[in-house]
Amino acid sequence: MNRRLLAALTTALLAGSLAACDSQTAVPAPNFTPCTVSHDQPMAFVVGARANVPKPEVPAAVNDLMTGVARAHKPITLVRLDGKPEYVFAEDAPAAAENPDTDAAQVQQYLNRMITAFREKIRAQTPEANVLRALTIASQKVGPGGTIVLMDSGLQTTAPLRFGEDNVLTADAAEVAAFLAKEKQLPDLSGRSVVLVGLGLTAPPQPELDPRWQGNVFDVWKSVVEAAGGCAAKVLHGSTAAAAVESPAVSVVQPPKPVEPKTCGTVELGEADNISFKPDSAEFRDPAGARTTLQRLADTMRAKKQKADLMGTTASVGPPAGRVELSGQRAAAVKSVLVDLGIAADTITTRGVGTNWPGHVTDLGPGDVLLPGPAAQNRKVVATLTCLEQ
């Protein structure tokens, strides 16, 4: 691991633990709203010191939590997050001593051994990143009532949750959790608090995610944690420095690129353009973002004196007739915004085709389980612009 990273981690952890042990004053548990954490419960710290994520920086509140847990004689577990996550520190908590000085010394020795594990074992060893597996093994150590701190970008690159290859980055968060539940791939997080640090923050060669996709990464993991029985909290802290290590390699997750409206022709308006819809609904997932995109489309239509044919589509959910009806409502939703932006209603036609169109992406897996990434891709409106004669 990068020596500067080791020094920073060691200094942060060691300084916090020494300060806590020098004082007999009780250290209050940090506030990780909406979750409740306690020093009287075990803790696991899951760290992605790997390629494609910034080098880890331990938030002060996390350091305080580790210190308090150790002083309460509860165990702390460190988990290395890579393609095959493993424990790098899983010792029993130090036994309490009647003599305060002896007790403090034993706690400090415990923390020192944990710091050594950080120094020598936290670096990624296996290609790719498996966040689900890391949460699973961390959960096994803390048990109900315990706390897991996940410090990583959250961009898993291994099955069953490949953010890139399976388009999970743009998927509906609730559908991702439902998919994992049906596939029996959810970790058991019942009664656990999961503190999420640095989700969506990346380092080259992983492209930077804009705020929308950063937010969706958090929403996905929040939904997964809650579906698994846990409580998810977000810490607004994270490093934007270069990755601590460059290998082993981790697959790059490419965020979608918006498509500019053509002067004439067909353009698919989907997730990258904020023209995506909530499942089984004609409501935009991001109404403000959709309006911004449609303002550009309206400007193009006005300047080029264009007509537009709007074709709505759906995922493979529900009966075919219902899909056609819903897809028509989605096309009508886009038209409504364009008319509100000053485009004449008689220059816009709408229709729904459900899933019956050449660009439909296969969104059902084995057993007809809905695949959340492809399903999100299929909830769109296809605009065909026709130039009017001058």
Rounded to two decimals, the pTM is 0.87
- What pLDDT score does 260 carry? 67
* pLDDT cut 70: percent of the chain above it: 91
- What pLDDT score does 262 carry? 65
- Average pLDDT value for residue range 239-256: 91
Please determine, for residue 243, whether its predicted confidence score (pLDDT) is greater than 60: yes
- What pLDDT score does 20 carry? 40
- Average pLDDT value for residue range 280-305: 90
pLDDT tens digits, residue range 256-272?
Answer: 887 766 667 888 888 88
Average pLDDT score, the chain: 90
- What pLDDT score does 239 carry? 77
81-to-137, 190, 335, 382 alpha-carbon distances in Å: 11, 21, 46, 40
pLDDT tens digits, residue range 55-104?
Answer: 988 899 999 999 999 999 999 999 999 999 999 999 999 899 999 999 99
- What pLDDT score does 9 carry? 46
Please determine, for residue 336, whether its predicted confidence score (pLDDT) is greater than 50: yes
- Average pLDDT value for residue range 285-308: 89
Beta strand pairing call for 231-235 and 193-197: parallel
- What pLDDT score does 266 carry? 86
pLDDT tens digits, residue range 212-224?
Answer: 999 999 999 999 9
Confidence of residue 305 (pLDDT cuts 50, 70, 90): confident
Please determine, for residue 382, whether its predicted confidence score (pLDDT) is greater than 80: yes
Cα distance between residue 248 and residue 130, in whole Å: 13
pLDDT tens digits, residue range 174-211?
Answer: 999 999 999 999 999 999 999 999 999 999 999 999 99
- Say how far residue 80 (Cα) sits from the centre of its chain: 18
Q: What is the residue-wise DSSP string for 168-235?
A: GGGS-HHHHHHHHHHTT-----TT-EEEEESTT---TTSPPPPHHHHHHHHHHHHHHHHHTT-EEEEE
